[in-house]
Chain A
Amino acid sequence: GAGVSQTPSNKVTEKGKYVELRCDPISGHTALYWYRQSLGQGPEFLIYFQGTGAADDSGLPNDRFFAVRPEGSVSTLKIQRTERGDSAVYLCASGGTILHEQYFGPGTRLTVT
Chain B
Amino acid sequence: ELKVEQNPLFLSMQEGKNYTIYCNYSTTSDRLYWYRQDPGKSLESLFVLLSNGAVKQEGRLMASLDTKARLSTLHITAAVHDLSATYFCAVDSGNQFYFGTGTSLTVIP
A residues sitting closer than 8 Å to B (CB atoms) are: 33, 35, 40-45, 48, 50, 55-56, 58-59, 91, 93, 99-107
Find chain A residues with CB under 8 A from B35 CB. 104
Decide: B99 and A56 in contact? CB cutoff 8 A.
Answer: no
CA distance A14 to B107 in the complex (A): 39
Q: How far is the CA of A42 from the CA of B102 in the complex (A)?
A: 6
Q: Of the candidates B41, B48, B99, which one forms a contact with A106 in the assembled complex, judged by CB atoms under 8 Å apart? A: B41
Chain B, Cβ-Cβ closest to A43: B99
Q: Could you list 27 examples of A-B contacts with CB < 8 Å? A: A35-B97, A41-B102, A42-B4, A42-B90, A42-B99, A42-B100, A42-B101, A42-B102, A43-B88, A43-B90, A43-B97, A43-B99, A44-B99, A45-B97, A45-B98, A48-B95, A56-B96, A91-B43, A99-B50, A101-B45, A102-B97, A103-B45, A104-B44, A104-B45, A105-B42, A106-B41, A106-B42
Q: Name the distance in Å between A43's Cβ and chain B's nearest Cβ.
A: 5
Query: In the complex, how many residue pairs between chain A and chain B have their CB atoms under 8 Å apart?
Result: 56
User: By the criterion CB–CB under 8 Å, are B42 and A107 in contact?
Assistant: yes
CB distance from A17 to the nearest CB of B (A): 25
B residues whose Cβ falls under 8 Å from a Cβ of A:
4, 31, 33, 35, 41-45, 48, 50, 88, 90, 92, 94-102
Complex Cα spacing A40 to B103, Å: 10
CB closest chain-B residue, reference A92: B42
CB <8 Å contact, A99 and B48: yes
Query: With a CB–CB cut-off of 8 A, which chain B residues contact A105?
Result: 42
The residue of chain B having its C-beta at the shortest distance from the C-beta of A46 within the complex is B96
What residue of chain B has the Cβ atom nearest to residue A56's Cβ? Answer: B95
